[in-house]
Structure 1
Amino acid sequence: MKKIKKKSIKLVTHDGSFHADDIFAAATLSIMLSNKGETFEIIRTRDQKIINNADYVFDLGRIYKENLNRFDHHQTGGAGEREGIPYSSFGLVWKKFGGEITGNKKITDIIERKLVMPVDVNDNGVDLYKNNFPNIFPYTLQDVFAIFSPTAFEDLDKNKQFMEALAWAKEILQREIKKAKDQIEIAKIIRNFFKKTKDKKLIIIDKPKVSRFEIWDALQDFPEPLFVVYGDKEDWSIVAMRKEKNSFGSRKNFPISWGGLSYKDLQKITGVSNAVFCHRALFMAVAKSKEGAVKLAQLAIES
């Protein structure tokens, strides 16, 4: 019996310059279709006949019709917004297919806020933040993908460059999904240590070896913790809890006299024989044992 060749699904977006929103929209659709075992191709064009016959069209066409898989936001009136942030093609595609890819609403929402909305903000020319320093700006995802665009002195194929950027975007999106999934479980573990601790000014996490960023995320909503001790057999760290989620200010700093000291100098001033290091910004310290780390934290709390 002759095997029927599977039709190649056509994903169409505009040619020419590319940006984070169309790259990530393509990444989302690519992951979704790959998960289904579908054969597909990405076409970058403005040929109306090709656009009309496409299975998916994004960032092109001036039409947003989710049921027809048309995901543009350039038409008069745009394509809607959420929380004051207008949708770009990435946001529109993620809105429909994000949950299908993650299989979990909480993960979908995490990616929406962490990755999708910032890309949408940038593409729509909406300010997300205010600069604290003149002529210094954050290096955004748009900046990352802009490096793939040919300069005026380069004779590079933009379609080939788009595909290179797409490979990066797929990896970023898949890693963010994986990290979000794991961080939900890690947050449960960290909060369980918090719940079991009597004096909640100091939380001690024995396992697994978490990161300070996971600690900050998991415990930010609890006002009691000042310091958290965490680590493994080789090194133990103490981190100060942040005042606010997006602030570097701590609820309580390590003593000023510890800042920037290491080994013998830190050991002498603290009396902790295996003290290793205290960050000069006074938010983190390290010791060679759990007991040493706990002692440093207790001294900091009492200071």
Structure 2
Amino acid sequence: MATDNPAKKLKLDGPLIGTHSGHFHADEALAVSMLRLLPTYAASPLVRTRDPAVLATCHTVVDVGAEYDDARKRYDHHQREFTTTFPGHTTKLSSAGLVFMHYGKDAIAALTSLAPGPDLDLLYEKIYTDLIEAFDANDNGVSAIAPKDLEAAGLKAKFSDRGFSIASVVNRYNYTSGPSPTATTKDAEQQEEDARFLKASLFVGEQFELEVTDRARAWLPARHAVAAAYTSRLQYDASGRILVLGEGMPWADHLYNLEKEAAPQPDGVAPHVLYALFPESTAPDTKWRIRAVSKENSGFENRKDLPDAWKGVRDEELDKVSGIPGCVFVHAAGFIGGNKTFDGALAMARKALEL
């Protein structure tokens, strides 16, 4: 039976969690760590086995047992008839997605103290989309882009990132050159394997906690600020193509969602914001940045680059090329630039719209 570090001397007397023994993966490692965030399971011991008789004694079982039944606390996804997906998504769930679907809001609330409501719902969807769905896809053998589609497009990866993902890190915890000299029995070997699983579970659990707490602290509050900026954007450009933010914040995701929620736009109002302006700091004399808005889910491809003639140009030379005083720089890739003042950055945005 897997237990936490004996040095902690925790009394593990909560409901028994079960998962499979043998080679482990990121999905059940995350599923177990998410459960243990909840008060019900905070002191739960874990047993790793494939013995049906032992699993039958468990209160909650993940990733083994060929059964999905929330009422019975059984969360496996390997059975042929399993097709469950997260609401609004098409990726078949793994044990991580199953546990998150049923307990994700409670886990987020435990980490953030968010009460039930729109903010919790928004963060619940965001965490699944940005983190949990990749666990589900990885465990079910689903690529972000189908290899056959890449081949049909004549595209080849520039490098291999197989060793770079969370799943690959978890897999390393499986690696062993064989039992240690102290593992002289099958039970001892199982204890060593269980200890590696617990390390992996702690690792993915920490990533989950970091993602949730960061999103709650910065991303979620930004939603309200970006919504206010989106509502007031017409004062800077009659077509609404310039977004002015009061301070640095994560804004792109919120902008994409606000645009979808607002569609269709009134006559004369553009469907998309092209440039976002924001100050470098909160100081009264701070410089301002202008950022070309990326196409959603496209990486570095922008809806409209800053003008080609400005790219890679700085200071007085940029003033001359643009006809706007106070310019600081425009990146050679054309996605970001700067000016000494808000008025200067706004002038750059307005001029860029025309070119």
- 2:200 and 2:28 map into 1 onto residues whose CA distance is 11
Query: Would you say 1:241 and 2:293 are equivalent positions?
Result: yes
- 1:152 and 1:262 map into 2 onto residues whose CA distance is 56
Match of 2:202 among 157, 163, 167: 167
Q: Which residue does 1:133 correspond to in 2?
A: 156
Match of 2:95 among 79, 84, 89: 89
Amino acid at match of 1:50: V
Aligned pairs for 1:28-47 within 5 A: 28-33=34-39, 36=40, 38-47=42-51
Contact 1:220–1:245 at 8 Å: present in 2 too?
no
Write out per-residue CA displacement over residues 32-63 of structure 1, whole angstroms, 9 at most, x where no aligned residue: 23xx5842223323344432212211111222
Query: Would you say 1:59 and 2:56 are equivalent positions?
Result: no
Contact 1:80–1:86 at 8 Å: present in 2 too?
yes
Residue 31 of structure 1 deviates from its aligned partner by 1.0
Contact 1:64–1:79 at 8 Å: present in 2 too?
no
2:45 partner SS: strand
Q: How many residues align?
A: 296
Q: Which residue does 1:121 correspond to in 2?
A: 137
- 2:79 and 2:272 map into 1 onto residues whose CA distance is 49
Write out per-residue CA displacement over residues 104-148 of structure 1, whole angstroms, 9 at most, x where no aligned residue: 333222222222222111111123314442464554432343343
Match of 1:202 among 242, 248, 258: 242
- 1:215 and 1:81 map into 2 onto residues whose CA distance is 24
Write out per-residue CA displacement over residues 62-107 of structure 1, whole angstroms, 9 at most, x where no aligned residue: 2222111111112232363454422211111112211222343332
Change in Cα spacing, 1:121 to 1:291, as seen in structure 2 (3 Å) is same
Contact 1:191–1:218 at 8 Å: present in 2 too?
no
- 1:201 and 1:211 map into 2 onto residues whose CA distance is 18
Residue 195 of structure 1 deviates from its aligned partner by 1.2
Query: Would you say 1:109 and 2:144 are equivalent positions?
Result: no
Contact 2:293–2:302 at 8 Å: present in 1 too?
yes
Amino acid at match of 2:82: G
Amino acid at match of 2:56: N
Write out per-residue CA displacement over residues 238-278 of structure 1, whole angstroms, 9 at most, x where no aligned residue: 11122334453222111112223344543453355543332
Contact 1:226–1:241 at 8 Å: present in 2 too?
yes
Match of 1:269 among 311, 321, 335: 321
Amino acid at match of 1:270: S
Q: Which residue does 1:192 correspond to in 2?
A: 228
Change in Cα spacing, 1:274 to 1:166, as seen in structure 2 (3 Å) is farther
Q: TM-score, normalised by structure 2?
A: 0.72
Amino acid at match of 1:146: N
Query: Would you say 1:50 and 2:54 are equivalent positions?
Result: yes
Any unmatched runs of 5+ in structure 2?
1-10, 109-115, 181-188, 263-270
Higher mean alpha-carbon deviation, 147-156 vs 271-280, is at 147-156
Amino acid at match of 2:244: I
Contact 2:252–2:293 at 8 Å: present in 1 too?
no
Q: TM-score, normalised by structure 1?
A: 0.83
- 2:222 and 2:141 map into 1 onto residues whose CA distance is 35
Query: Would you say 1:282 and 2:348 are equivalent positions?
Result: no
- 2:327 and 2:179 map into 1 onto residues whose CA distance is 53
Higher mean alpha-carbon deviation, 92-101 vs 71-80, is at 71-80
2:276 partner SS: strand
Any unmatched runs of 5+ in structure 1?
none
Amino acid at match of 1:211: P
Match of 1:15 among 4, 15, 21: 21
Contact 1:220–1:242 at 8 Å: present in 2 too?
no
Change in Cα spacing, 1:241 to 1:67, as seen in structure 2 (3 Å) is same
Match of 2:211 among 176, 184, 205: 176
Residue 217 of structure 1 deviates from its aligned partner by 4.1
